[in-house]
């Protein structure tokens, strides 16, 4: 499969003797040493990554890390000093101006941080501007612009001017303009950072809904850690112009590439990111529905467990049988476990369920929670002690320095790992009085 976008050894150095600076940087010299004696600034250094079709690829970093320069090289707004950018297999860096404009029109749209709406044009005209530039007939661009406004919930505001809209609504017009262009790739540069936290979360939700419907390829730039973790299928972390790690949110949280990344993610509520699949264990006692009670009794005895997990055709999870029911089946001379299998005693969850959503299920049953894959098959189990251990590992380091990018106060009412552990062990499945900012 051809990548939607591929970047190879990309550099951007501003100032004099840029090529010499790149040569030094490519030799592995630290940035300060490589630029010594040169009137140059290295914004992006040796960036290499691929973005898959339909993926939300987030580039995250603090101010000055090079992420905005990087995204502007992805559509030719900034020419790289060295390196390759390929869009759907086409080398962007060698395109002549006319071909570059055509590629932007057909392949790549951009949503800016500060809306970039034209104040004298209506919402509808702003949404359809790219289509006007492409010289589509008026009726066709009106239809497509209205459809894009409908997608973002602003169809009834089509004839208003931008100053009639709130900040969040204006940002949605910018998103509608990109959607109306109907390009395969959306570049979003700090697109939501100017919005209030609650509005930002609402538009994040809308973006995820649109992505599920449209399957666009999105490269999203942010300095907000929570936003990156929430939106990104994969995340690239930048520092001083370099990409220091690429991975899923779970991979970055559980296996940071270095101390910088570890400190960067230290304050993330891991219970909202890590999933059941990351902590589940292999079940010790699993039997087919056709197995007899003697086989079940042997399995319970050998594993020293109190419950058997029962599967049916295609390994579908059917439920559980307890040791008491196995004993009853033996006394009654039953040939198999049919009639004793129940889904009432053990809770089941999907493999992508977050740890935060496992508290109530684990507290409500004395047996390990069953984890099912997307076909309803038993993928693993989570004993209560395993969840407690994972929560302890997820507790933030009290000595870590808070990162300035963790500014989204929408997480203020989420349960902390310590509070959730206490609630779980005490059977308090509602987690009342155990949220951040609220004394237990």
Only one residue has tokens 């409500």, namely 364
Look at residue 82 in the predicted model and tell me its pLDDT.
Answer: 94
The pLDDT assigned to 355 comes to 81
In 3-state terms, what secondary structure has residue 26? Answer: helix
**Structure token digits, residue 197:** 């936290």
Please tell me the distance from the alpha carbon of residue 420 to that of residue 426, in angstroms, as a whole number. Answer: 10
118-121: which pairs have CB atoms within 8 A and are 24 or more residues apart?
Answer: 118/162, 119/161, 119/162, 119/163, 120/161, 121/161, 121/162
CA 355 to chain centre: 15
Domains located in the chain, CATH noted: 269-281+353-440 (no CATH), 286-345 (3.10.580.10)
Q: For tokens 């951040």, name the residue.
A: 436
What's the pLDDT score for residue 368? 87
Per-residue pLDDT at 394: 52
27-35: list long-range contacts, CB under 8 Å, 24+ apart.
31/240, 31/241
Strands 56-60, 234-239: pairing kind: parallel
pLDDT at 400: 44
End-to-end Cα, the chain, rounded Å: 52
Encoded tokens for 62: 């603090």
At 405 the pLDDT is 39
pLDDT of residue 45: 94
Sign of CA dihedral 179, 181, 182, 184: negative
The rounded distance, in Å, linking the Cα atoms of 141 and 145 is 6
Mean pLDDT by 10 residues, the chain (440 residues): 88 91 87 86 94 94 90 93 92 92 88 79 87 83 87 87 86 85 88 79 86 90 88 93 92 88 80 82 87 87 87 89 86 82 85 82 81 90 80 52 39 43 47 37
Q: Is 422 helix (H, G, I), strand (E, B) or coil?
A: helix
pLDDT at 63: 85
């Amino acid at each position: 499969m051809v990548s939607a976008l591929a970047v190879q050894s990309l550099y951007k150095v501003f100032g004099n003797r840029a090529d010499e600076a790149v040569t030094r940087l490519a030799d592995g010299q630290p940035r300060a040493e490589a630029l010594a004696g040169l009137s140059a600034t290295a914004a992006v250094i040796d960036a290499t990554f691929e973005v898959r079709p339909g993926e939300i690829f987030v580039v995250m970093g603090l101010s000055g890390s090079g992420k905005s320069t990087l995204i502007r090289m992805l559509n030719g707004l900034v020419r790289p000093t060295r390196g390759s950018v390929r869009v759907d297999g086409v080398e962007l860096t060698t395109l002549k101006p006319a071909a570059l404009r055509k590629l932007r029109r057909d392949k790549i749209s951009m949503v800016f941080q500060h809306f970039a709406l034209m104040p004298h044009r209506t919402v509808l005209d702003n949404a359809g501007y790219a289509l006007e530039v492409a010289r589509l007939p008026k009726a066709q661009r009106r239809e497509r612009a209205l459809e894009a406004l409908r997608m973002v919930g602003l169809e009834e505001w089509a004839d208003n001017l931008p100053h009639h809209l709130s900040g969040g609504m204006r940002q949605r017009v910018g998103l509608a303009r990109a959607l109306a262009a109907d390009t395969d790739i959306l570049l979003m540069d700090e697109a939501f950072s100017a919005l209030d936290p609650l509005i930002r979360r609402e538009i994040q939700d809308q973006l995820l809904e649109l992505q599920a419907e449209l399957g666009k390829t999105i490269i999203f730039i942010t300095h907000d850690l929570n936003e990156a973790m929430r939106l990104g299928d994969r995340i690239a972390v930048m520092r001083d112009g370099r990409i220091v790690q690429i991975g899923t949110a779970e991979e970055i949280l559980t296996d940071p590439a270095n101390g910088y990344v570890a400190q960067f993610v230290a304050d993330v509520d891991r219970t909202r990111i890590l999933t059941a699949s990351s902590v589940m264990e292999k079940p010790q006692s699993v039997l087919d529905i056709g197995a007899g009670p003697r086989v079940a009794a042997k399995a319970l005895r050998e594993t020293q467990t109190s419950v058997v997990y029962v599967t049916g055709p295609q390994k579908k999870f059917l439920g559980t049988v307890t040791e008491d029911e196995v004993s009853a089946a033996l006394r009654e001379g039953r040939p198999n476990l049919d009639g004793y299998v129940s889904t009432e005693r053990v809770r089941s969850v999907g493999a992508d369920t977050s740890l935060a959503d496992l508290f109530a299920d684990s507290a409500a049953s004395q047996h390990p929670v069953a984890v099912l894959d997307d076909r309803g098959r038993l993928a693993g189990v989570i004993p209560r002690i395993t969840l407690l251990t994972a929560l302890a590992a997820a507790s933030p380091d009290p000595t870590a320095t808070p990162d300035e990018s963790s500014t989204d106060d929408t997480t203020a009412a989420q349960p902390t790992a310590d509070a959730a552990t206490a609630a779980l062990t005490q059977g308090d499945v509602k987690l009342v009085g155990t949220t951040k900012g609220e004394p237990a």
